[in-house]
Amino acid sequence: MAEEASALAKAELAFQKSRAAYAGSQAKKILALCVVAAVFAFFAVTAFIVGLVISLAGLIGPWASMAVVTVGLLLLAFVCLLNAKSRLNATKAVVSDGGENGR
């Protein structure tokens, strides 16, 4: 009986090792694909912004279109920062209270 338990434990250990090795190799590939996707998304957003500046240039002029797009992007960034700050403060409050008041 002890030999069977030992064999079972060794087989389980070997199985878990092979599972971990497979997950590790897949994680590298998944990370690489995510990086490539992020690069493509960055270029797509850049192309959209350049296209927006070019299309607005015909309506309001090149300098004004650049200013409008830049101010719009800065406003969006500011809104995101305010949202992040409020979430950070809320998280700090929950963590400092031990999570009792944040639920």
Calpha distance 16→87 (Å, rounded)? 39
Using the predicted structure, report yes or no on whether residue 103 has a pLDDT greater than 70.
no
- CB-CB neighbours of 49 under 10 Å: 14
The amino acid that residue 8 corresponds to is L
pLDDT in tens, 49-84: 999 999 999 999 999 999 999 999 999 999 999 999
pLDDT band at 97 (very low <50, low <70, confident <90, very high): confident
Answer for the pair 77, 97: CB distance below 8 angstroms, yes or no. Answer: no
Please give the pLDDT value at position 4: 85
* pTM (2 d.p.): 0.62
Mean pLDDT, residues 37-60 taken together:
95
The closest alpha carbon to 48, from 64, 32, 72, 31, belongs to 72
